[in-house]
Amino acid sequence: GEDVEQSLFLSVREGDSSVINCTYTDSSSTYLYWYKQEPGAGLQLLTYIFSNMDMKQDQRLTVLLNKKDKHLSLRIADTQTGDSAIYFCAERGNTGNQFYFGTGTSLTVIP
């Protein structure tokens, strides 16, 4: 199956920007997604990007897609303590039926 990789941990100071990176293998992916998971909760859809786009901005969130390198990133501006969570990137498989998730990046925001 498809392989989605993320670094496991990231720490930033409150007010700084966070950048969470993801690489994937399926070049036929049409959509790529970012989800946030807080402790004991489900996954909350943050944003998604169509593969023919390079960038998408939504308030404090900026998604960058380098399709050539199969690299996706999520930038959180002015990171707050409430942003501490696990962030998953996901790609939709070529059958369209399932999402392939990375192992998640645990973001810790230091006050």
User: Binding-site residue total for other proteins (CB under 8 A)?
Assistant: 25
Could you say whether residue 108 binds other proteins (CB under 8 A)?
no
- Report the residue from 20, 22, 76, 104 that binds other proteins according to the rule CB under 8 A: 104
CB of 59 to other proteins, least distance (A): 18
DSSP assignment, residue 83?
A: G
Could you say whether residue 33 binds other proteins (CB under 8 A)?
yes
Strands (E) in 8-111, as ranges, are: 9-13, 18-24, 31-37, 43-50, 55-58, 61-66, 71-76, 85-92, 99-101, 105-110
- Report the residue from 23, 60, 61, 101 that binds other proteins according to the rule CB under 8 A: 101
CB of 63 to other proteins, least distance (A): 13
Do 77 and 67 touch, CB atoms closer than 8 A? no
CB of 79 to other proteins, least distance (A): 22
Structure tokens at 61: 């969130």
Residues 36-95 that bind other proteins (CB under 8 A): 40-45, 48, 50, 88, 92, 95
Do 33 and 91 touch, CB atoms closer than 8 A? yes
Alpha helices in 1-111 (DSSP H): none
Binding site for other proteins (CB under 8 A): 4, 30-31, 33, 35, 40-45, 48, 50, 88, 92, 95-104
